[in-house]
Structure 1
Amino acid sequence: MQDAAPDAPSLLRQRPFALFLGSRILSAAALQIQVVAVGWQVYDLTDSALALGLVGLAQFLPMLLLTLLVGQVADRVDRRRLVGLCRMVTALGGAGLAWGSLAGWLDRDAIFAFVVLFGTARAFEMPAQQALLAGVVAARDLPRGTAMATSANQVATICGPALGGFLYALGGAGAAYGLAALAFLLAGLMVLAIRIPARTLMRGKVTMESLFSGITFIWSRPALLGAVSLDMMAVLLGGAVALFPIYAKDILETGPWGLGMLRASPAIGALAMSLLLAWRPIGHGAGRRMFLAVILFGVATVVFGLSRSLVLSSAALILLGAADVVSVVVRQSLVQLSTPDEMRGRVAAVNALFIGTSNQLGEFESGVAAALLGPVPAVVLGGVGTVVVACLWMRWFPALLAIDRLEDVSPDAARQNAPFVAKR
């Protein structure tokens, strides 16, 4: 008989997991402070929705170009050191932004150059961080550990934007960038302090087969392919994050503090849901719950797009964040539980590309759509598109819809006898 899985307090008493969470909180908070400052500063300098979209594109392109490489690196080196190094590089870039803002030489092009640097560092960091979680908790604890890690991320996402907006309003961009750089530095030191048993590193020459093995692995598992592609399409179409500065300044007529509130609102809902899932992990019907959550995400996006009230907008974003975290926990748990440890870096890199496509490329898509159609039609059409995609994916990926308990997923059970064929 298996021992009962530890509860949330027991997991927190495990030092490697506690350090992992602490480092994740600091780095996520630093990222959100940085995002608020970059978004407001770029829009203040350019007054352009397209420029906001280009910020997302500048972060996404390094991830797109480096996906196959970063997966190899994450499986061939110590993942703790890789994550720590990436956060140190981001800290140096943040210090450069602070210096440029305070000295007065930072312009739009310089900001884009720093954003490319951050995107490159995150391209290496994300798959290593995702794979590292499976090294600090047991397989049976992954759904709960994923929910707790998501909770930690959302705590930072609530505090970070509000703090970033406050610092920007009070001390300018330099103060916000400086605090973000310090937080990234501390986060890097904390992850380097994690001590876990050594794992077997990938050896041998890099071949075309090994380069594309992460893509092949996901493609051959319909439930996994459905989960990562559904999450990608939902945020790609329904993500209105890049347009928050426009909504805060022009539609809701607030200042940087209002932008901070909009940034924090999805995280409030996500935190509440992730704490609930850490206390009571998803039981039966995991696939069905994921689809329902994505539909709710689309509906909340439409409400936000039509709102002219900061209170209603924040409420819609809170609901959106709660729905999104259900999708995140299901997807991340499937990725970790379906993948052997020796392949987690490569598979996580492909998963990170899907995430980057939805987040950063979604920001670019939102900026272009807003420039062509206006911000409100762009957000509303994106929300409607998300609902349509969820309905199509239920038909095309029945293996995902049929998933019952996440704890029952394994590398063997996740694979179907035949590769993915879309049902039409």
Structure 2
Amino acid sequence: MAKTDPYAALRFKEFNMFLLVRFLLVFGWSMQFIVIEWEVYTLTKDPLALGIIGLMEIIPAFTMALFAGHIVDQREKRNLLALCIAAFSLISLGLFLLTWDKVVAGWTTTSVLYGIYALVFFGGFLRAFFGPTIFSLIALIVPKKVYPNAATWSTSTWKAAAVLGALFGGFFIHWMGVPKTLCVIFIMVMMSLGLIFLIKKKPILNPNRGEPIKQSLKKGVKFVFSNKAILGALTLDMIAVLFGGTVALLSVFAQDILKVGSQGFGILNASISLGSIVSMFLTTYMPVSKHAGKKLLGSIFVFGLCIIAFGLSSVFWISVVALFLSGAADGISMVIRQTILQLKTPDEMRGRVSSVNSMFVGSSNELGAFESGLAAKLIGPARAVVFGGIMTLITVTIIGKRNKVLRTLDLTEDYKAHGQEN
């Protein structure tokens, strides 16, 4: 059997175009998140306001997730992604206008804040469609034998965009201010909209196209809950991300604890994603198939330790290292989870399974942001972060002991079945 080709997916032209589109989108979305977090905290000086941003996004993202998955499985994926990007451009334009003095002159702080919350809410609704559409489109661009490699490169591209978006988000605030930074984001989103049409329309592989929504959603949920490998991985990540989310509080640490300003804020955000992209790039050469379950548990345990270290630190470089290592551990867990989903999900159910995934893991990011903001309000930001890290360790320990299927999960045979070698 041929050795693993770390660049297998990159040998397909449309996949490279897909990666470019995804890079632009995530780069823009990452910058936008950083800028809005900074702007909201600057306006309010209230960590709970940062938590509310997460709450505004999770409500529509969670409630629409299953319905979005059904729509994705029924529709052509390229055009659906183009529609999502077009809608995202409206959000970016709206946020730019809400932070431009010439537009909001005379507005109260409360009015501007509510306007931002409204657009974030719309973004949560949109995100319910983004994840399933992207997940499903990957499987239509590359053959099954390179699914694991494609999943790794796609996730790595996402993290590479996140690290640069976070880094430049902080720097751009310092260099040109919030309004101009949001204008740059709008331009990048429009570029991605033009590029997506260089990918051809794809066939709809759902043999049950047109089936009733209730029946379709029931099948998707039943599949996830009957597959112990998928369910175990999603449950573990959901709880870990819920309690280990520190990103929502980084603006508080940058301004009030570490006192490093907007540039330091960008570096703190970037260090997390930089750690992730380094670890995910390494997994293209060293597949995580063997003892995947134990590696997943171990990586999230290390993630929890790093979060505790960050919460206890008052030294900038120590905080950066702790966040870098947490990102590296998180990157490994994401590669394992995405590989499990790609290998074990039938083509006709990718949209629905990805939607359940977004309910478990994606929405827990925003719920975690709300939890972090509320905890910071009640017990202080440093204690809130340490508490989250401790809860992550407890969660991993309990799940590791009680979930034998996840603990003993090995993907070696799945890799071989798809033309990959461990």
| Distance of 2:178 and 2:14 partners within structure 1 | 34
Contact 1:337/1:410 (<8 A) preserved: no
Shift in Å, 1:196: 6.2
Given the alignment of the two structures, is residue 7 of structure 1 paired with residue 13 of structure 2, yes or no? no
Of residues 218, 225, 229, the one that matches 2:224 is 218
Alpha-carbon spacing, 1:265–1:398, altered in 2? closer, same or farther (3 Å): same
Q: Counterpart amino acid of 1:122? A: R
Instruction: Give the aligned partner of residue 186 of structure 1.
Output: 191
Q: How does 1:119-198 map to 2 (within 5 A)?
A: 119-195=124-200, 197-198=202-203
Q: How does 1:14-33 map to 2 (within 5 A)?
A: 14-33=12-31
Structure 2 alignment gaps of length 5 or more:
105-110, 418-422
| Distance of 2:129 and 2:16 partners within structure 1 | 22
Instruction: Give the aligned partner of residue 107 of structure 2.
Output: none
- RMSD of aligned Cα (Å): 1.8
Shift in Å, 1:170: 2.2
Instruction: Give the aligned partner of residue 52 of structure 2.
Output: 54
Alpha-carbon spacing, 1:86–1:407, altered in 2? closer, same or farther (3 Å): farther
Of residues 220, 227, 247, the one that matches 2:233 is 227
Shift in Å, 1:98: 1.1
Shift in Å, 1:116: 0.8
Shift in Å, 1:91: 1.2
Deviation per CA, 1:81-106: give whole Å up to 9, x if none.
11221111111211121122122527
Deviation per CA, 1:117-147: give whole Å up to 9, x if none.
1111111111111122222222232222222
| Distance of 1:44 and 1:344 partners within structure 2 | 41
Of 385-394 and 135-144, more deviation after overlay is shown by 135-144
Alpha-carbon spacing, 1:231–1:263, altered in 2? closer, same or farther (3 Å): same
| Distance of 2:405 and 2:326 partners within structure 1 | 25
Of residues 56, 62, 65, the one that matches 2:63 is 65
Given the alignment of the two structures, is residue 303 of structure 1 paired with residue 309 of structure 2, yes or no? yes
| Distance of 1:310 and 1:88 partners within structure 2 | 39
Given the alignment of the two structures, is residue 312 of structure 1 paired with residue 311 of structure 2, yes or no? no
Deviation per CA, 1:32-72: give whole Å up to 9, x if none.
11011100000011111111000001111111111121011
Given the alignment of the two structures, is residue 278 of structure 1 paired with residue 284 of structure 2, yes or no? yes
Alpha-carbon spacing, 1:84–1:410, altered in 2? closer, same or farther (3 Å): farther
Q: Counterpart amino acid of 1:194? A: I
Instruction: Give the aligned partner of residue 108 of structure 2.
Output: none
SS of the residue corresponding to residue 284 of structure 2 reads helix
Of residues 344, 359, 362, the one that matches 2:368 is 362
| Distance of 1:349 and 1:120 partners within structure 2 | 12
Q: Counterpart amino acid of 1:127? A: P
Of residues 378, 389, 394, the one that matches 2:384 is 378
TM-score normalised by length of structure 1: 0.92
| Distance of 2:250 and 2:286 partners within structure 1 | 33
Of 141-150 and 188-197, more deviation after overlay is shown by 188-197
Of 140-149 and 72-81, more deviation after overlay is shown by 140-149
Shift in Å, 1:4: 5.5
| Distance of 1:96 and 1:154 partners within structure 2 | 25
Contact 1:87/1:121 (<8 A) preserved: no
Number of aligned positions between the proteins:
409
Instruction: Give the aligned partner of residue 86 of structure 2.
Output: 88
Instruction: Give the aligned partner of residue 420 of structure 2.
Output: none
Given the alignment of the two structures, is residue 332 of structure 1 paired with residue 338 of structure 2, yes or no? yes
Contact 1:5/1:140 (<8 A) preserved: no
Given the alignment of the two structures, is residue 391 of structure 1 paired with residue 389 of structure 2, yes or no? no
| Distance of 2:11 and 2:244 partners within structure 1 | 38
Shift in Å, 1:263: 0.9
Shift in Å, 1:151: 1.6
Shift in Å, 1:357: 2.5
Of 199-208 and 317-326, more deviation after overlay is shown by 199-208
Shift in Å, 1:280: 2.1
Shift in Å, 1:21: 0.8
Shift in Å, 1:215: 1.6
Shift in Å, 1:410: 11
Q: Counterpart amino acid of 1:124? A: F
